A = this chain, B = another copy of it.
Amino acid sequence: MHPDAVQRVLGVLLMVFSVTMLPPAFLALAAADGVASAFFLTFLLLIALGAVLWLPVRRSRRELRTRDGFLVVALFWIVLGAAGAMPLVLQTVAPFSLVDAFFESVSGLTTTGATAIIGIDDLPISIRYYRQQLQWLGGMGIIVLAVAILPMLGIGGMQLYRAELPGPVKDAKLTPRIAETAKALWNIYLGLTIACALAYWLAGMSVFDAISHAFTTVATGGFSTYDASLGHFDSALIEMIAVFFMLISALNYSLHFMVWRRKSIEPLRRDPEVLTFLAVVITVSVLVMGGLFVYEAAHGLPRADSWNHAIFQVVSFATTTGYTTANYSLWPAFLPVLLLIVAVVGGCANSTSGGLKVVRVLLLWRQGGREIIRLIHPQAQLPVKIGHRPVNERVIDAVWGFFAAYVVLFVLLMLTLLAMGLDQVTAFSAVASGLANLGPALGDVATNFASVDDGPKLVMCVAMIMGRLEIFTLLVLFTPAFWRR
């Protein structure tokens, strides 16, 4: 541990983050919505706090080392979660409780997209913008976390991707590596955001809505400037644009990087994880369409835009974006639970999407198959392969560890919510949604978390942060072995 280095990074982080208060501040000024002073005050407080942390250690030569990565990453979401809540607390136009503000900020930065607000349409425009921007910034952080840092830390088997990183490999020093990787990936992220915003605008959104929703589409975040989410626009064209960009955003950014460098989509077309992910999306879409047809026929309901809603809702869940159009929670119980499970599987590794990640599920599936063959041929040597490459047993161990931790954490959080008085459907779906960084759930929290108390909201914050940090990043910090030496 190099406390100096961690403190320096944290100081820089806060100073950089403080600057992100300026766009909503100026928007608030322009719209005279009464929130400008809160954003400017937050800007000043954060830049001051960052400077206080940074100044004493600015000349320290200590570099961040691999092990410090766990602490920096964990602090990133916890500290910025608190910092992001500040403007909401400091303003008085639409009062937020401390817990509600923290919940909204964590939900934003982790790109979960669960909200405790009813009446988003009526909020001051700068706050409506600010929530969207939080998710976009969270997405930027996740890409660096997922692509540059987790593989180096070896969290949940993600050392699988160690060799694929763009940029030079220097195992001991994190900083230069991360900076280079981040730049390349953020360019792609920015490019996708601009393309998505343009498409939304051409499809009929206002400039404000187009930018706001592009932010949360490429971040697979799911916040909207309307209570009705993307359903507000009631446009099949807009939904299909969202489907396209959600899918792109849930794919591996290392592959996007290769596609961009080689000017060829071959890397995507050959990737076993991408192909599996698309196969899941297509299969589940067909299932959901079929389920809706049967349901509508059985109940003599008029045929709604089933194909359209089915595809949109499946992609929204599979990418863990969590936009909604149809009132999916009123569909027959089979379908929403299926959607939740698809979200728990999640998108591809090295993307902004949440959940277990397709590559992990694929690995576990392959090993399950191997176990069956081993029962019949106990002597056979059978490596587990992804594509044509055999996977290191250490990676498989780590993935199993991750899976088990996920299940245990799921059960503990669900029991906690039940003990706080939530019903079983609400507790189960809230935890599934929070850990997978999805957003919408079922039961009392199908569309928002306004009806639950502070306790469950804080539990959800833990779920969202744990999910985003792939559990082990945080667990490691609670072991004596981490702090020793």
What residues make up the interface of A, taking CB atoms closer than 8 Å to B?
A: 67, 70, 153-155, 291, 332-334, 337-338, 341, 364-365, 367-368, 370-378, 393-394, 397-398, 400-405, 407-408, 411, 414-415, 418-419, 421-425, 427-428, 442, 472, 475-476, 479, 481-482
Would you call A481 and B424 a contact (CB within 8 A)? no
A375: B residues at CB distance < 8 A: 70, 153-155, 472, 476
A376 interface neighbour in B367, B427, B481, Cβ under 8 Å: B481
Would you call B155 and A419 a contact (CB within 8 A)? no
Would you call A419 and B368 a contact (CB within 8 A)? no
Would you call A334 and B397 a contact (CB within 8 A)? no
Contacts known (A376-B481, A424-B424, A472-B375); A415 close to B367, Cβ less than 8 A:
no
Which of A401, A407, A408 has the most chain B CB within a 10 Å cutoff? Answer: A401
A385 → B minimal CB distance (Å) = 15
Would you call B368 and A424 a contact (CB within 8 A)? no
A421: B residues at CB distance < 8 A: 332
A129 → B minimal CB distance (Å) = 37
List, sorted by A's number, 5 A–B pairs whose CB atoms are closer than 8 Å.
A333-B418, A367-B404, A368-B404, A371-B402, A372-B479
A371: B residues at CB distance < 8 A: 397-398, 400-402, 405, 472
A337 interface neighbour in B334, B398, B401, B418, Cβ under 8 Å: B418
Shortest Cβ-Cβ A-B pairs, 9 listed? A371-B401, A334-B418, A334-B419, A400-B400, A333-B418, A424-B425, A364-B404, A368-B401, A368-B404
CA of A393 to CA of B394, assembled, Å = 11
Would you call B401 and A367 a contact (CB within 8 A)? yes
Would you call A481 and B341 a contact (CB within 8 A)? no
Q: Identify the closest chain B residue to A485 (Cβ).
A: B376
Would you call B481 and A333 a contact (CB within 8 A)? no
A415 interface neighbour in B341, B402, B414, Cβ under 8 Å: B341
- Copies of the chain in the assembly: 2
A372 interface neighbour in B423, B425, B475, Cβ under 8 Å: B475
Q: A371-B398, A371-B400, A372-B472 are known contacts; what are 15 more A-B pairs with Cβ within 8 Å? A: A154-B375, A332-B418, A332-B419, A338-B415, A365-B404, A367-B401, A368-B401, A372-B481, A375-B476, A376-B476, A376-B479, A376-B482, A400-B400, A403-B404, A424-B442
A332: B residues at CB distance < 8 A: 418-419, 421
Would you call B376 and A424 a contact (CB within 8 A)? no
A154: B residues at CB distance < 8 A: 374-375, 378
A472: B residues at CB distance < 8 A: 371-372, 375
Contacts known (A372-B475, A415-B334, A479-B373); A367 close to B428, Cβ less than 8 A:
no
A419 interface neighbour in B291, B367, B403, B424, Cβ under 8 Å: B291
CA of A428 to CA of B408, assembled, Å = 17
Q: Identify the closest chain B residue to A422 (Cβ).
A: B333
CA of A428 to CA of B427, assembled, Å = 13
A415: B residues at CB distance < 8 A: 334, 337-338, 341
A341: B residues at CB distance < 8 A: 411, 415
Q: Identify the closest chain B residue to A153 (Cβ).
A: B375
A407: B residues at CB distance < 8 A: 407
A337: B residues at CB distance < 8 A: 414-415, 418, 424
A416 → B minimal CB distance (Å) = 9
A153: B residues at CB distance < 8 A: 375
CA of A290 to CA of B414, assembled, Å = 18
A475: B residues at CB distance < 8 A: 372
CA of A274 to CA of B396, assembled, Å = 29
Would you call A373 and B481 a contact (CB within 8 A)? yes
A155: B residues at CB distance < 8 A: 375
A364 → B minimal CB distance (Å) = 5
Would you call A423 and B333 a contact (CB within 8 A)? yes
A393 interface neighbour in B378, B393, B482, Cβ under 8 Å: B393
Contacts known (A154-B375, A341-B415, A419-B291); A368 close to B405, Cβ less than 8 A:
yes
CA of A139 to CA of B365, assembled, Å = 32
A428: B residues at CB distance < 8 A: 424, 428
